[in-house]
Amino acid sequence: MKSAWVEREAKDAVDRYGAAGPELALRVYSTRLLGRDPKLVLHGGGNTSLKASARDLVGETVAVMHVKGSGADMGAIEPEGLPAVRLAPLLALRSRDALSDDDFARVQRAYLIDPAAPAPSVEMLLHAFMPAKFIDHTHATAVLSLIDQPNAQELCTDVFGGRLGFVPYHRPGFGLARLAAQVFDKSPKVEGLILDKHGIFTFGENAREAYERMIECVTLAEARLQKNRKAFKAAALPAKVATARAIAPILRGACTLRDVDGEGAHKRLVLDFRANDAILNYVNGADLARTARAGLLTPDHVIRVKPWPLLLPAPAAGQLDAFKAAACKAVQQYADDYQKYFDANKARASGVAMHDPLPRVALVPGLGLFGMGENAKAAAMAADIAEATAEGIADADAIGRFTSISEADLFDCEYWPLELAKLGARKKLPLEGQVAVITGAGGAIGAAAARAFAQAGADVALLDLDLAAAQKTAAAIGGAARALQCDVTDAAAVAAAYDAVVAAFGGVDILVSNAGAAWQGKIGEVDEATLRKSFELNFFAHQKMAQGAVKIMLAQGTGGCLLFNVSKQAVNPGPDFGPYGLPKAATLFLVRQYALDYGADGIRANAVNADRIRSGLLNEGFIKERAKARGLSEKEYMSGNLLGREVTAHDVAQAFLAQALALKTTADVTTVDGGNIAAALR
């Protein structure tokens, strides 16, 4: 591993964070260097500290320790992410024999110089008990491959000599800090510590020294992993393996908790597929059944990936039914095992409720792995951890035998409130775990629907003929929102778009088939080409999108929701709007046909009849022209309805969202037009 320290960048950091002082500025700089490298730190893991002095709230200068806030991302840390804690009271705890969890949680906050600062890391006391000015702590994958071994101490002595102290495994918190202090007191000249089955600490008198020692030790571990490697033993695989695209919806369906509220709501997960040589080297290994159940690389991963992954059989191409049956059985077995694990260990934590029994990582021999989560972000975090785990375990097994902590120790971390605090308070959103595909997402109604569905917790795939417009919507939403160029009238483009959606999220639960355009012409005179063009977009494209969605929904077997933008023209024709209204009327019927044909599969189909919405179809020039033709002001024209209020794209989006959330509503047409008796459905 190469040092990423660049003196000029370090100086820039000192300039940038001038107000914080040069030491804290460099503390921020090297914390970011460590946090940027996934081979050192992943998703809230790892932490750093600096011992310094600070003015407290009454102006007195006191000795403090700046330490990373619990769960903060080291790669993007700012000085505020390293809150200052008074050092003296923490040191007073060094001679204590024990500290309860409740007291530990109080201590975490009690001595903050700024009471509003984030809670410091659960490894705060370990940092405090070590006298070094700068301390870096990572969960470097190479170091973990070395210490997730039965003879970890022997290997560490061999690789690091006496430079690092060796601390036996203990759950993070006071007990671990105390144990580390005892090890340190026996050899106070060490440059850092190895925490067995957990990670590495390095010390320094300045930021660079602690950082360079970390890089040096990780490099030593990497070099050891290249020595005396055992030959890789591969498992037998089918001659031709199915694609990730083919199995993702099946897996997603298998990993669903059905009807969790007795009213038809499912708990679904979003999938993130990964494959590369290192992953395949692991999942194709002959020993996968053992290593997959042997635990995790480092204990804090358990809060994001559960104590072990789901192990699936290699899916043979063309035998998806057999794979589906095997996947469902494997997930059921996983849930049973998880329940047993919880029951066997629940006495270790008082009054905790079991987390859901679904896996967060699935290993698929011959193919790769899937991270799974309540949204695409959580799925990506699980996949990142799974990737590091695949590499770390393969390396550990190549030089010895991967050996992690016990399931009881994992349980202690998985159900430890102080560890779970890293996840932050999570508000459950109504469409959490669901994937929505929205067409015409670059337009006004599509963009409003995309925002509404994303705010309700869905991950959204945004399709538009105009990629830049879809990207603009995606950028405004942020997160995992995915923009895709798609001509919805082209069957191949629709198939490719669904492939991309499945590759990104694992499947589809909601379709908002919104894309449309208006063609005009007196029906007795309009040329057939115009009429056919309108049918292509305003009818056949809806059918193509719905057909593609239904195929995936059936593979998932967890129902779904098809939503169509139909328009008032479907029931109340406007003069010369036949070319637009006719296909929309057919689409209205399409909604009812889907509702009828797929109700038994839990797939609902609903439509919104909107009218007079400012959009690409009804642009400013058109509004002016129409208002003038009727002798009305623009405002009078736009609010020319029973309620006398202009209807917006946001109103239409809210109607779509309401239909998606109304689990017992299908074949419904919701009118969003401010009231128009002539267009009212009967």
In the complex, what is the shortest distance from the CB of residue 130 to Zn ion, in angstroms, rounded to a whole number? Answer: 14
Q: Which stretch binds Zn ion (CB under 5 A): 73-81, 186-194, 195-203, 531-539?
A: 195-203
Of 44 and 602, which has the nearer Cβ to Zn ion?
44
Length of the chain: 682
In the complex, what is the shortest distance from the CB of residue 135 to Zn ion, in angstroms, rounded to a whole number? Answer: 12
User: Any contact of residue 583 with Zn ion (CB under 5 A)?
Assistant: no
Of 44 and 548, which has the nearer Cβ to Zn ion?
44
Of 48 and 567, which has the nearer Cβ to Zn ion?
48
Q: Which stretch binds Zn ion (CB under 5 A): 54-62, 191-199, 211-219, 515-523?
A: 191-199
* CA distances for 565 relative to 307, 508, 543, angstroms: 45, 18, 12
- Taking alpha carbons only, the member of 633, 626, 593, 595 closest to residue 611 is 626
CB 338 within 8 A of CB 353: no
Residue closest to Zn ion (Cβ): 199
Query: Token pair of 508, please?
Result: 């589809």
User: Is 580 one of the catalytic residues?
Assistant: yes
- First-to-last C-alpha distance (Å) of the chain: 71
Q: Which helix (H) or strand (E) holds 304?
A: helix 302-305
Of 405 and 588, which has the nearer Cβ to Zn ion?
405
Q: Which of 282, 580, 594, 598 is catalytic?
A: 580
Q: Which stretch binds Zn ion (CB under 5 A): 197-205, 220-228, 257-265, 332-340?
A: 197-205
CB 61 within 8 A of CB 45: no
Binding mask 606-645 for Zn ion (x = CB under 5 A): ----------------------------------------
Query: Token pair of 166, please?
Result: 């060796």
Who contacts 262 (Cβ-Cβ below 8 Å, separation ≥6)?
A: none
In the complex, what is the shortest distance from the CB of residue 121 to Zn ion, in angstroms, rounded to a whole number? Answer: 8
User: Any contact of residue 71 with Zn ion (CB under 5 A)?
Assistant: no
Q: How far apart are CA 39 and CA 225, in angstroms?
A: 14
Q: Which stretch binds Zn ion (CB under 5 A): 113-121, 196-204, 385-393, 547-555?
A: 196-204
In the complex, what is the shortest distance from the CB of residue 138 to Zn ion, in angstroms, rounded to a whole number? Answer: 8
Query: Token pair of 428, please?
Result: 């459950």
Half-sphere exposure of 289 (CA within 13 A, CB side): 5
Q: How far apart are CA 361 and CA 251, in angstroms?
A: 11
Q: Residue 370 — φ and ψ, nearest 5°?
A: -120, 130
Burial 131-168 (b: 16+ CB within 10 A, else e): ebbbbbbbbbbbbbbbbbbeebeebbeebbeebbbbbe
Binding mask 150-189 for Zn ion (x = CB under 5 A): ----------------------------------------
Of 251 and 413, which has the nearer Cβ to Zn ion?
413
Of 211 and 577, which has the nearer Cβ to Zn ion?
211
Of 169 and 232, which has the nearer Cβ to Zn ion?
169
Collapsed DSSP state (helix, strand, coil) of residue 296 = coil
The contacts found for 395-398 with CB under 8 angstroms, 24 or more apart, are: 395/141, 395/142, 395/145, 395/225, 396/144, 396/145, 396/146, 396/148, 396/149, 397/230, 397/285, 397/287, 397/291, 398/225, 398/229, 398/230, 398/232
In the complex, what is the shortest distance from the CB of residue 139 to Zn ion, in angstroms, rounded to a whole number? Answer: 6
Of 193 and 244, which has the nearer Cβ to Zn ion?
193
In the complex, what is the shortest distance from the CB of residue 307 to Zn ion, in angstroms, rounded to a whole number? Answer: 17
Beta bridge partners of 510: 436, 561
Q: How far apart are CA 83 and CA 90, in angstroms?
A: 14
In the complex, what is the shortest distance from the CB of residue 608 to Zn ion, in angstroms, rounded to a whole number? Answer: 51
- 433 sits in the region (left: phi over 0; alpha: psi -120 to 50; else beta) called left
Number of residues that bind Zn ion (CB under 5 A): 1
Of 199 and 365, which has the nearer Cβ to Zn ion?
199
In the complex, what is the shortest distance from the CB of residue 299 to Zn ion, in angstroms, rounded to a whole number? Answer: 8
Which residue type is seen at 60?
E
Q: Which stretch binds Zn ion (CB under 5 A): 17-25, 50-58, 194-202, 356-364?
A: 194-202
Q: Which stretch binds Zn ion (CB under 5 A): 178-186, 198-206, 412-420, 643-651?
A: 198-206
Q: How far apart are CA 382 and CA 294, in angstroms?
A: 18
User: Any contact of residue 199 with Zn ion (CB under 5 A)?
Assistant: yes
H helices of 63-169, in order, are: 87-92, 101-110, 124-129, 141-147, 152-160
In the complex, what is the shortest distance from the CB of residue 261 to Zn ion, in angstroms, rounded to a whole number? Answer: 37
Which positions touch Zn ion (CB under 5 A)?
199
User: Annotated catalytic sites, by residue?
Assistant: 580
